[in-house]
A and B are shown apart, each in its own frame.
Chain A
């Protein structure tokens, strides 16, 4: 499987094709809908977001608490569609990589193309396995949101599938194929 760093993707997002599996390494920020709402409110007020959005990777995830002596608890993806209303604004402000699970709206897909970004999916419910790919974790913002706070994670070889590429090809956008069934 292709190993890629976030830096490599930022330099050449267009090289990724929908359906392509990758092992991702680099810094990602967790944010669910509550954090998105707060970031959006800050941007609307002209205030500074809690982390640099330019070139950022956002992981839709609310981790379980870490046991003593571990880096992080279970940390799989949450449903991306809940962030759809906020995502175009995030992309307009420089976010380049989105990681979650499930299909996105047409508006998100269009904005991904416009901003030369990419949407990856991780396997939902594979949260114990995904926790093994986090090598560093710390709280970044909105601590009062508990599991919905923004965490800064350093990931190594996180298994993902390219779901919407920079050309707008979307793995969820396909017809049901009856031949798949026997």
Chain B
């Protein structure tokens, strides 16, 4: 059994908070640059600002976006690891508290949904744990802003509605709220599972690399189809019109109950910040 001190987890999380908020992942930046090449003015100018922003943020360690988000963590906890000290949740939250305070990230979390009192350190984080067979801990941090989160949606479809029903729901969601979510968007879709896991799986689907192909050929085809149709909506960068409404669509399909067909759409903004560390 490999022993890992909780302080190491806290330190790693603190560092992830800074790294993810200052630097866009390469695949996202490349996709934005490719979109910039294709677009015409004024969408082209908006993308140029977004690309320039990424450079300033990285060079000067300024958050890419003032909304440094809800702190989401997807953790693969190896069966060969024993954590010493604080439990995993407390170790992560301590890292978030330090990370957001020490790196001048915005604290956006309220104590109670109906009372406007800030927790002051951006905790609590959303921590999703999976178990792996490894002897390590893989921590992925996904800070997610309110604007894009507000555009996300979940629907319990009638199973007979099948793919067409799902597609219409996704397109309708993007059409209605996409312009508010800082396009070009990344779209995470979860089909199947149940009400609660569909929402989580849609968010987790956002973590795939842009340009990567779905392992299931059927869904790989559907991802292409959806991306094309979403871009046909011509919402464009920041909603001002253009060829690029989304950079990628990622579909996650899971077994479901015979009576239920849940579909969840997690909308992510162009400032698709995420970072992974393995301990």
User: Which residues of A are in contact with B by a Cβ distance under 8 Å?
Assistant: 19, 21, 34, 61-67, 73-76, 78-79, 81, 101-103, 121, 123-129, 131-132, 145-148, 159, 161, 163, 171-172, 174, 176-178, 180-182
User: Which residues of B are in contact with A by a Cβ distance under 8 Å?
Assistant: 42, 45-46, 49-50, 52-53, 56-57, 60-68, 104-108, 116, 118, 120, 146-147, 150, 179-180, 182, 228, 231-236, 238-243, 269-271
Q: Is the CB of A124 within 8 A of B147?
A: yes
Known: A64-B66, A103-B179, A161-B42. A124 touches B269 (CB 8 A): yes
Q: Is the CB of A176 within 8 A of B116?
A: no
Closest to B175 in A: A176
Q: Is the CB of A128 within 8 A of B231?
A: no
Q: Is the CB of B108 within 8 A of A125?
A: no
Closest to A179 in B: B234
Least Cβ–Cβ distance between A119 and chain B, in angstroms: 13
Taking CB atoms, residues of chain B closer than 8 Å to A171 are 240-241
Q: Is the CB of A132 within 8 A of B234?
A: no
Least Cβ–Cβ distance between B121 and chain A, in angstroms: 11
Known: A21-B45, A128-B53. A73 touches B234 (CB 8 A): no
Q: Is the CB of B179 within 8 A of A21?
A: no
Taking CB atoms, residues of chain A closer than 8 Å to B66 are 61-64, 73-76, 127, 147
Least Cβ–Cβ distance between B82 and chain A, in angstroms: 37
Q: Is the CB of B53 within 8 A of A125?
A: yes
Give the contacting residue for B63; candidates A61, A121, A128, A159; CB below 8 A: A128
Cβ contacts A to B, 23 pairs, < 8 Å: A61-B66, A64-B62, A64-B68, A74-B64, A74-B66, A75-B66, A76-B67, A101-B147, A101-B180, A123-B53, A123-B238, A124-B269, A125-B269, A125-B271, A126-B53, A128-B64, A145-B116, A146-B118, A159-B49, A171-B240, A176-B233, A176-B234, A181-B234
Q: A121–B236 Cα gap in the complex (Å)?
A: 14
Q: Is the CB of B62 within 8 A of A128?
A: yes
Least Cβ–Cβ distance between B49 and chain A, in angstroms: 5
Tell me what chain A mostly uses at the interface: helix, strand, loop, or mixed. loop
Least Cβ–Cβ distance between A105 and chain B, in angstroms: 12
Taking CB atoms, residues of chain B closer than 8 Å to A123 are 46, 49-50, 53, 238
Q: A76–B180 Cα gap in the complex (Å)?
A: 14
Taking CB atoms, residues of chain B closer than 8 Å to A145 are 116, 118
Q: A152–B170 Cα gap in the complex (Å)?
A: 40
Least Cβ–Cβ distance between B277 and chain A, in angstroms: 23
Taking CB atoms, residues of chain A closer than 8 Å to B106 are 62-65, 73-74, 147
Q: Is the CB of B65 within 8 A of A124?
A: yes
Closest to A101 in B: B238
